[in-house]
C-alpha cells in the first residue's frame, strides 16, 4: 500500500493506493498540496482507500443526487448510517464507487474505466470527502471564483453562467497586482485564530488553477447580469441566502447541513457580502473592487 498525504485549507488527509493500477498519476492537480508526512500531533481530516479489489458488503437505499460540477452522483444511505456514492463522469459513465462512514472520516473507493475516467472519479470522491468531512469544522468548499489583491481574497459567487470567471478575469485585466487563487472550488474556513480565510484547492472546474495559496477574505460578491452596473451591501439574511447555496452540502445530512450553516453564519459575522448587478466591463470591476476594499 502506498500512503500519500496532502494538506488543503490547513487540513491534512491521506490517500492509500492499494493496487498498482491506481497511483498518484490520477491526481496531478493535488501535487502542489502533497506532504512528505503529516506533522506530529496534527490530525487527519479523513483517510481514503483506493482499492480496485474491494467490493461492498452492502448496498444502501437511494436518498438523493449530489450535484458536483454539473454531474449528478447517486447517494445511498447504508444500514450503519454511512453513505455509498456512485460517481458518474460527464458522459454518464460510472467511474467510481465509494462507501464512507457517517462522518466521512474514512472511505474506500473502487475505480472503473480508463485513466481519464478513474482520475475524474477519484478527484470527485476526494472533493466530496473533503467537503463533507470538514462540514462541522468551520470549513466549506464554495462554488466561487477567487481573486487576490493586496493580500486579501475576494470571492465571486453566482450560478453557472452569471459571469464569475469573466468578472475575475477583468480584475486581472484592469486592477494591477492581482492574481487568481482558484476559479471554481476554493476552501473557505474560519480558522482557529478567528480569521476567515480562503484557500486554493486541487479542484478548480474548467480552469487549471491549483495553487497552494491562502488569504484572509476581503469580501463576497454575488453577481447578476444586468444592462447597467450597480452595487450594494447585502443584509445578513440576504448574505445567508447567497452563501449557503454556494457551499457543497448534503441537505439531508443533519451533521453536514448544520455544520455548514454554522460556518456560513460565522462568515457573515466576519466578512461583508455585496450584490453586484453588472455588465462585463471595467466599470463593474472598479465598482466591486472599490466597495469591497474601500480603496476606490
The sheet that has 11-17: what strands, in order across it? Answer: 34-35, 2-8, 11-17, 44-50, 106-111, 94-100, 83-88, 71-77, 61-68
Domain identity same for 265 and 146? yes
Domain identity same for 54 and 145? no
Domain identity same for 96 and 198? no
Domain identity same for 103 and 168? no
At 91-129, the pLDDT tens digits run 889 999 999 999 999 999 999 999 999 999 999 999 999
Question: Which one of 133, 158, 192 terminates a domain?
Answer: 133
Residues whose CB is less than 8 angstroms from the CB of residue 11 and which lie 6 or more positions away in sequence, other chains included: 45, 130, 134, 137, 139
What's the chain's average pLDDT? 94
Among 140, 185, 147, CA closest to 167: 147
At 227-286, the pLDDT tens digits run 999 999 999 999 999 999 999 998 889 999 999 999 999 999 999 999 999 999 999 999
Question: Which one of 109, 133, 157 terminates a domain?
Answer: 133
Rounded to whole angstroms, the Cα distance separating 90 from 7 reads: 28
Q: How confident is the model at residue 58 (pLDDT cuts 50, 70, 90)?
A: confident
Domain identity same for 106 and 159? no
Domain identity same for 250 and 154? yes
What is the pTM (predicted TM-score) of this model? 0.94
CB atoms < 10 A from the CB of 207, how many? 14
Domain identity same for 267 and 149? yes
Domain identity same for 249 and 170? yes
CATH code of residue 234: 3.90.228.20
At 145-187, the pLDDT tens digits run 999 999 999 999 987 777 888 999 999 999 999 999 999 999 9
What is the model's pLDDT at position 296? 62
Q: How confident is the model at residue 68 (pLDDT cuts 50, 70, 90)?
A: low
What is the model's pLDDT at position 70? 58
**Residue 84 burial (10 A CB sphere; 0-12, 13-18, 19+):** buried
Domain identity same for 89 and 167? no
Domain identity same for 40 and 161? no
Rounded to whole angstroms, the Cα distance separating 83 from 135 reads: 15
- Residue 235: give the domain boundaries: 139-293
Q: What's the domain count of the chain?
A: 2
Domain identity same for 149 and 271? yes
At 14-53, the pLDDT tens digits run 999 999 899 999 999 999 999 999 999 999 999 999 999 9
Domain identity same for 51 and 106? yes
Q: How far is CA 63 from the centre of its chain?
A: 22
Question: Which one of 91, 112, 133 terminates a domain?
Answer: 133
Amino acid at each position: 500500500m502506498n500512503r500519500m498525504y496532502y494538506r488543503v485549507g490547513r487540513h491534512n488527509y491521506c490517500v492509500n493506493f492499494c493496487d498498482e493500477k491506481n497511483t498518484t498519476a490520477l491526481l496531478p492537480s493535488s501535487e502542489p498540496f502533497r506532504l512528505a508526512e503529516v506533522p506530529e500531533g496534527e490530525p487527519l481530516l479523513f483517510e481514503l482507500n483506493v482499492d480496485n479489489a474491494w467490493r461492498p458488503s452492502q448496498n444502501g437505499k437511494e436518498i438523493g443526487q449530489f450535484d458536483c460540477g454539473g454531474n449528478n452522483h447517486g447517494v445511498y444511505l447504508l444500514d450503519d448510517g454511512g453513505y455509498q456514492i456512485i460517481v458518474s463522469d460527464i458522459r454518464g459513465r460510472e467511474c467510481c464507487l465509494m462507501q464512507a462512514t457517517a462522518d466521512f472520516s474514512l472511505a474506500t473507493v473502487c475505480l472503473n474505466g480508463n485513466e481519464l475516467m478513474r482520475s475524474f472519479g477519484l478527484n470527485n470522491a476526494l472533493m466530496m470527502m473533503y467537503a463533507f468531512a470538514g462540514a462541522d469544522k468551520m470549513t466549506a468548499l464554495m462554488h466561487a471564483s477567487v481573486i487576490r489583491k493586496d493580500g486579501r481574497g475576494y470571492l465571486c459567487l453566482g450560478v453557472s453562467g452569471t459571469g464569475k470567471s469573466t468578472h475575475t478575469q477583468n480584475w486581472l485585466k484592469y486592477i494591477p497586482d492581482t492574481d487568481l487563487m482558484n476559479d471554481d472550488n476554493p476552501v473557505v474556513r474560519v480558522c482557529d485564530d478567528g480569521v476567515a480565510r480562503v484557500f486554493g484547492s486541487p479542484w478548480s472546474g474548467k480552469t487549471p488553477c491549483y495553487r497552494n495559496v491562502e488569504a484572509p477574505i476581503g469580501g463576497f460578491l454575488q453577481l447578476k447580469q444586468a444592462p447597467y452596473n450597480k452595487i450594494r451591501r447585502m443584509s445578513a439574511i440576504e448574505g445567508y441566502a447567497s452563501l449557503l447555496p454556494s457551499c457543497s452540502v448534503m441537505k439531508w445530512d443533519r451533521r453536514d447541513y448544520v455544520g455548514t450553516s454554522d460556518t456560513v453564519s460565522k462568515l457573515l459575522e466576519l466578512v461583508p457580502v455585496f450584490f453586484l448587478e453588472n455588465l462585463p466591463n471595467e466599470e463593474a470591476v472598479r465598482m466591486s473592487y472599490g466597495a469591497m476594499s474601500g480603496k476606490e
